[in-house]
Amino acid sequence: MLEDGKDTLPARPNKTKAKMPNAKQRARAEELAAEIRRHDDLYYQNDAPELTDAQYDLLRRELVELEDQFPALQAKDSPTQQVGAVPASGFATAPHRSPMLSLDNAMTEDEMRAFDVRVQKALSTENAASSNPEDVAYVAEPKLDGSGIELIYENGRFKQGLTRGDGRTGEDVTVNLEQIASIPQKLATGARPKFASVRGEIVLPLAAFEELNQARIERDQRPFENPRNAAAGSLRQIHDVDLIRLRSLEFRAYALEEGRPNGCTKQSEILNVLRDWGFIVSPEIEICRGIGKAIAFHERLLQLRGKLPVEIDGTVFKIDDVAKQDTLGSLARAPRWAIAFKFPPEQAETVLEGIDIQVGRTGALTPVARLRPVRVGGVTVSNASLHNQDELERKDLRIGDRIVIQRAGDVIPQVVRVRLDFRRKALAEGFRLERPAPTTHCPICSTRAVRLEGEAITRCANLDCPAQLKNNLRHLASRGALDVDGLGAKLVDQLVEAKLVTRLSDVFALELAQLADLERMAQKSAQNLMASLERARQTTLPRFLIALGIRHVGATVAELLADHFGSLEGLLAAKPTKIAAIEGIGPIIAESVGRFLEDASNQAEIARFEELGLVIVVPESRTPSDASKRPQPLDGLTFVLTGTLSRPRGEWKSLIEAAGGKVTGSVSRKTNYVVAGSDPGSKVTTAAKLDVEILDEAGIEALLSAR
């Protein structure tokens, strides 16, 4: 139903010359992009979100508005152009035959009506008779709060199941999905296509969630925070699989990407086909003709929310007519013919019992409200982030205040406001409400807190602070950094508290006897960890830069730095101005990297890593950008990949770049070749219009073989 990169209609006409952003706007866009990527990783990779949906949506909306106002700010890897996150290691991966796109959100009735106006205007250009809003029928479906899944059927039998991943490539979780009773192993009735791609959501029914948590409490295990995290985590189990949790999951189908029977031209008909094949389809679904009826359905569903067997967080509206869907097409991240109308965050009242200060990986001192436990949004919560000292002062909180909190489907709620009427009453009755003192020292190491100019965050400046060290050590061991298997959170706590690790590089000075002497650390486990540390000593420059925990340096920035400088020595010698000149790296990131690398203690730490045997392996193709290099067969050539290829696109991209070529995401007059697999979509059409040569896999392999 969705073509790769199909973009038939502009998002909004741009009749004036694009304005250029100033330095402050560029810096804010970079900051937002870095923060959104971090929260995407927490949500998709770790199933451990820190923000509510509403807070996350505000960050994304601010970035979208900046990029709309200043198109020059929209980088190729902007999170506004991405879906989901890169699949985690540990599972085999496979490409989706067509992208699993995300949905744009509407938060208010006005935004829903604006969406309908855009739909009407776009359709009226094709057919003047479609200009009446009552002519558009929307299929209204509950927005399920779970994990998106694609199921592949061949000749009517279940063949493969993939997570959403980054929208183009997902994790193969077939073996776990086979345990879920609501996923048919064989399509039940009707014409069975040779190939079918069924998409839907894996959810954990609320009754099963309560039963699982009760059982965990009885076994002295930590209960799950919410059904969404419990479901997502269950799908990604590799070892010691909890079959009871896995078999408690439910799959609800909502789309048929391939395999639609002849004559099936409506979304509502597709849902009926899925029911006939044996899938669960949400029973609340209705066809709403016109935006007024759609909004009325949303209001009714909001009232039913607390009575439904699964968690939902809004309504999804899709144009019923598939032909009209095709007319509207899609952007890189989301279709134009569908939207998610989100429910307002759920709120509750409780008492502020205290304020604690948490120390983050980069030394950020974050005030956290300690609450009298209260149930909100289906979860009992006892903490709420207050973000920074400014936020704490702005809300004018006092210990003992009665406060309103809200939660939008995630773990950590937010403080909305103080009930001043309750405060006045408490003060009149003689109660003492204490104003929290400002944070002047780190609560862990007692080092004086600092606040850099232009920052809202107060930080502990002690790099050896035990709290920072623990977080940095966990970060170093993570999959995207040095990937030290066996170095988990509990072991990190032991190593730091036993003073076996007092600085980051100490991890490579550990000895087998030291590890074996630790509580609950068997000889075999100690040997395995030592072997994992030995493997981690051979790493790449991007992974090492990520492992160092430099602020704002994630996978994308680390790759840019490694590609440009080619070696650690070249980067260490670089000035912030040279770093800032790299395309894709702005002044804030450059200042952060430069400040870190110029610090004498950090330089000593990097040198000690090398003394302890860490070796940075530089790929043959990666040399400094200003150094001489032998000619490559694809030097100066730009490629675009489209359609379903026999190997993952990332692999083709690596091969092309290793041969000196460049891979971009869209076709332009600067494109030299488009490499097209099956079902290539509109990029091939664009290439033909621009006289760009189109290659099949044999063609690109012929170019590569000239190396």
What does the alpha-carbon distance between residue 379 and residue 222 come to, in Å, rounded to a whole number? 14
143 is catalytic: yes
Neighbours of 45 (CB within 10 A): 18
| Three state DSSP letters for 585-602 | CCHHHHHHHHHHHHCHHH
* Annotated active-site residue in 19, 121, 143, 629: 143
User: Contact at 8 Å (CB) between 658 and 633?
Assistant: no
Q: Residue 57 pLDDT > 80, yes or no? A: no
Which of 354-368, 569-583, 629-643 has the weakest average pLDDT? Answer: 629-643
Strands 157-163 and 147-154, sheet pairing: antiparallel
pTM of the model: 0.50
Give me the residues paired with residue 539 across strands: 616
Position 117 scores a pLDDT of 93
Contacts of residue 572, Cβ cutoff 8 Å, sequence gap at least 6: 597, 603, 606
Degrees to nearest 5, angle at CA 279 with 275 and 282:
75
For residues 203 and 128, the model is more confident at 203
Q: Dump pLDDT digits (tens) for 502-530.
A: 999 999 999 999 998 898 888 888 999 99
Degrees to nearest 5, angle at CA 392 with 386 and 396:
130
Question: Helix crossing, 697-704 with 649-658: angle to 10°?
Answer: 30
Degrees to nearest 5, angle at CA 624 with 619 and 629:
80
3-state secondary structure of 465: coil
What does the alpha-carbon distance between residue 38 and residue 426 come to, in Å, rounded to a whole number? 41
Degrees to nearest 5, angle at CA 389 with 386 and 392:
50
Degrees to nearest 5, angle at CA 47 with 314 and 185:
75
Position 392 scores a pLDDT of 81
Reported confidence tier of residue 177, pLDDT bands at 50, 70, 90:
very high
Domains of the chain, each with CATH number or no CATH: 23-82 (1.10.287.610), 105-342 (3.30.470.30), 346-428 (2.40.50.140), 466-536 (1.10.150.20), 541-616 (1.10.150.20), 638-704 (3.40.50.10190)
Position 8 scores a pLDDT of 32
Which of 170-184, 224-238, 460-474, 519-533 has the weakest average pLDDT? Answer: 224-238
Neighbours of 98 (CB within 10 A): 21
What average pLDDT score do residues 446-466 get? 78
Reported confidence tier of residue 227, pLDDT bands at 50, 70, 90:
confident
